[in-house]
Structure 1
């Protein structure tokens, strides 16, 4: 594997020399439970968030991680039961649009629940959707255009790399059928070739940002957009064993992107809405920070990232995230649904931010061992 130099660590000084882990298991479980409970008590109303759409899917992915932890450590099946009830009332179906990456994201949860309970009803609708797409792939254009649904049939925006590819990686792992990994590899690499900036080592949100610039003249790289990609890479790497021939590309990309993003952490521990112009968006932004902390913590836990260098970055990010949790468990400073950097305020929250917070918390819980 290539080695990448972590640019920017020296800016934060002696803090980065510490490698102790200051968070206890009880503390981590307590804040995750508080955040999860607040979200269950404050569901987003339909039609903005119906059960099967992508914001909810991101919530479910994190909620499943937390639910398994709560069951294993505290014999608490509250959260698993909540997830199963949602799946049952929707017949375990993905969302409506066949090709759209957002509409198969919920299948990540359904596959995980199938693996836990071995109930084929949880898996069959996802298999049917994925099989149809693999047999009838779209060859639509990569220039995403508002109102042109054909441009949404492939993974033409970087968020899609969190939504859809892990579904195919999970199906490959569950079934052993190589058609899923072949499809995922082809489509993922097409998106990578189109949206990854080889000089900046970051992903554009979509082609419309190729020539845009921030107020400071830098290119526009959206914090949460790159967080989506990193989170999706983690979900893929979890499914591909160390010796799998498909793994090196994703591990190399993960290391390259994680190294670049780690060096863009701000002194307050957060990553901001604009990665290269944080001064124009000075407020904390927790949805990008949660995904990045999750991804970096996974890398430390798995030995993909140097513990001495990256553990302090993870810890500083988690401390920042804790400062964004209200006493009642509401997670604030979550940029609203969008496609580029926007202003953020403390009262803003969203379910995908909560999902990523729970993913990050569970990885830190692993560190506490």
Structure 2
């Protein structure tokens, strides 16, 4: 008997909440938190994880140890810059923190979010106001859009702080200039301000997914009359119109979306499915090709979940060209996020 999507979702959630969150990377925890909240699975454990991320908020305001632990990779990602300590990644946990504020009204959650916002405001930025990806380096990575923009926008609405909403839009403006390819609408990964150069310029599926997921998750919270609304909708349509045509006949996207020699990869495929479904729900995407593409993607991703609830064929941290394929915390969370759109 073929398992239903609901059965698979429960299997993935039950498996993942038993993982050691103390060993998890901050942004990977954020993917899981958002996936659990979206599906409604394991509610007590979800709140425990969020509360622990607040309990381990650093003195300068970053959630969950603040990316201060050394990142040890099992493979050589030659394009990374020095010892990696992220600026925006811990802020991704703010999505879940604000969800609990919305649900409970407890100032504890809003106060924690405020500390993380203040950190982002105080950090040294690029000349155009872009939040840098790493401490000590003025570089932009497309990941940062999802890590900070939905959080900034939602905080701005909940805390009546329009500056935070404007800041979210500014991040899209800056990254569009430096990381979005004007010919395809796709996003490159990492740009350095000095020297003006790309550290990693491939169009990799999870990188593009960070941009598109950030767009749909931010659009939801930005007031309709904000001038940034039209900008975000335009960027989303540009990127999705190219992405939908790059989907493999299997239903997957390749790890590097325009390189058929790269593996077919799950996390970017899940992010495309999530984006297309959310974009349709928001009325930003309208063509039925996005619905069909999302359904194909979700169906093929159901098949990579094993009997234990492991989501396979995921590019491991940090991703990018030639990344090994395996099972990861972010893959588990992204599966839940995408599946929530089909339940």
Bin of the TM-score, shorter chain as denominator length: 0.7 to 0.9
Name the structure 2 match of 1:362: 340
Name the structure 1 match of 2:231: 249
The alpha-carbon deviation at position 163 of structure 1 amounts to 0.6
- Contact 1:94 / 1:125 at 8 angstroms: preserved in 2? no
Q: Give CA deviations for 1:155-207 in whole Å, capped at 9, x if unaligned.
A: x0111111111111111111222111222222331122111110121111013
- Map 1:1-369; keep pairs closer than 5 Å: 27-43=4-20, 46=23, 49=24, 53-67=26-40, 70=41, 77-87=43-53, 89-90=55-56, 94-95=62-63, 96=66, 100-134=87-121, 136=122, 138-140=124-126, 149-152=135-138, 156-207=140-191, 220-278=202-260, 280-281=261-262, 283-345=263-325, 348-365=326-343
The alpha-carbon deviation at position 77 of structure 1 amounts to 3.6
The alpha-carbon deviation at position 228 of structure 1 amounts to 1.0
- Contact 1:324 / 1:333 at 8 angstroms: preserved in 2? yes
> Is the strand fraction higher in 1 or 2?
2
Q: Give CA deviations for 1:50-98 in whole Å, capped at 9, x if unaligned.
A: 5xx122122212222122xx4xxxxx74444444553464369633369
Cα distance change, pair 176–99 in 1 and its aligned pair in 2 (3 A): farther
Name the structure 2 match of 1:17: none
Separation in 2 of the partners of 1:168 and 1:28? 32
Q: Give CA deviations for 1:73-126 in whole Å, capped at 9, x if unaligned.
A: xxx744444445534643696333698111222111111111111111112122
Unpaired runs of 5+ residues, structure 1, are 1-23, 71-75, 214-218
Unpaired runs of 5+ residues, structure 2, are 68-84
Separation in 2 of the partners of 1:353 and 1:28? 16
- Contact 1:101 / 1:164 at 8 angstroms: preserved in 2? yes
SS of 1:305 mapped into structure 2: coil
Q: Give CA deviations for 1:328-363 in whole Å, capped at 9, x if unaligned.
A: 211001101125222544xx1111111111111111
Separation in 2 of the partners of 1:78 and 1:188? 34
